Structures are given as structure tokens and as C-alpha cells.
């Protein structure tokens, strides 16, 4: 993982809502995020560091109100952590590069991977295919 940055670094670069989700493991309300019902071609990059995390080809409508993907863009770009908050046992997903909280992964996906990466829109930024590589 990249060198950890302190809260002040992230507060200067993120909106209060983005900071809460990305750096404090918050969750946006279902059906409220920018990308829950977007199916435009492109790459979904980490809101904090720009790492490509998911591709539009792996996105599907899970009916849960958050962007859902059946696989990460590449092996190793999304890291997993055990999450026992709120009295539940879940698997949190974070950007392996900067630690940005993305959401959770569940073993109930409808495709061959059997996975559903349930991601907060505030944690990612869509980089449309026709705009090139983007955030680097």
C-alpha cells in the first residue's frame, strides 16, 4: 500500500461526504449515489488516488442501490478486510494502493465469479473510455 497520508491531507482534497465514506468507512444511502444506475463504458478509478479498480464490463444491476461489480479490474488492486461493525460479519473492500474504503464484497453475485463488489459511488470516479487514461 502507498505511504499513508494523514486526515488533513485527505480533508483538503475530498468533499466532506467523500471524506466520510472514503476515509471513515461511511456508507452513502442506497439509490442516492452518482453511479448506482450508470452503465457507461469506462474504468472506475479510486476517488482518492486514481488507481483503476473496476471496469464497466464487470458492472451489473444488483438491485441494491449501489454500484455492483463481479470482479476487480486486476488482481491485487482491491484489498479485503474483515469487518465486524454494526453487529455483522462482512468483508470490507478498500483500494490496495491508498486504503480508500470502497464498500463490501458479498458471495451472492449472479455471474460466474459468484461475487458482488458493492461499492459507494463516492469512493470511485468513472473515467469514460473515450477520454483516454485520465487521472494519472
Q: How far apart are CA 109 and CA 54, in angstroms?
A: 15
Residue among 33, 38, 40, 25 at smallest CA distance from 131: 40
Residues noted as catalytic: 118
Q: Tell me, what's the pLDDT at 3?
A: 52
Q: 7-128 in CATH: which number?
A: 2.170.150.20
End-to-end CA distance of the chain: give it in Å, rounded: 17
Extents of the domains making up the chain: 7-128
64 is in an annotated binding site: no
**Tens of pLDDT along the chain (136 residues)?**
445 788 889 999 999 999 999 999 999 999 999 999 999 999 999 999 999 999 999 999 999 999 999 999 999 999 999 887 777 788 999 999 999 999 999 999 999 999 999 999 999 999 997 644 544 4
How far, in Å, are 23, 109, 132, 136 from residue 82 at the CA level?
Answer: 17, 19, 35, 30
- 95 in a labelled binding site: yes
Question: pLDDT at position 134, please?
Answer: 47
C-alpha 69/C-alpha 29 separation (Å) is 18
Supply the pLDDT for residue 123: 98
Q: Is 100 assigned to a binding site? A: no
Query: How far is the C-alpha of 13 from the C-alpha of 62, rounded, in Å?
Result: 31
Does 22 belong to an annotated binding site? Answer: no
For residue 102, give Cα distances in angstroms to 37, 68, 135. Answer: 17, 11, 18
Amino acid at each position: 500500500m502507498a505511504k499513508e497520508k494523514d486526515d488533513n491531507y485527505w480533508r483538503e482534497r475530498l468533499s466532506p461526504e467523500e471524506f466520510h465514506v472514503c476515509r471513515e468507512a461511511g456508507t452513502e444511502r442506497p439509490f442516492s449515489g452518482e453511479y448506482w444506475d450508470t452503465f457507461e463504458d469506462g474504468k472506475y478509478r479510486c476517488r482518492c488516488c486514481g488507481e483503476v479498480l473496476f471496469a464497466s464490463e464487470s458492472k451489473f444491476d444488483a438491485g441494491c442501490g449501489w454500484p455492483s461489480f463481479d470482479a476487480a479490474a486486476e488482481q491485487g488492486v482491491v484489498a479485503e478486510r474483515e469487518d465486524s461493525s454494526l453487529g455483522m460479519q462482512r468483508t470490507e473492500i478498500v483500494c490496495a494502493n491508498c486504503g480508500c474504503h470502497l464498500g463490501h464484497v458479498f458471495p451472492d453475485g449472479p455471474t460466474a465469479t459468484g461475487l458482488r463488489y458493492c461499492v459507494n459511488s463516492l469512493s470511485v470516479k468513472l473515467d469514460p473510455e473515450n477520454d483516454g487514461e485520465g487521472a494519472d
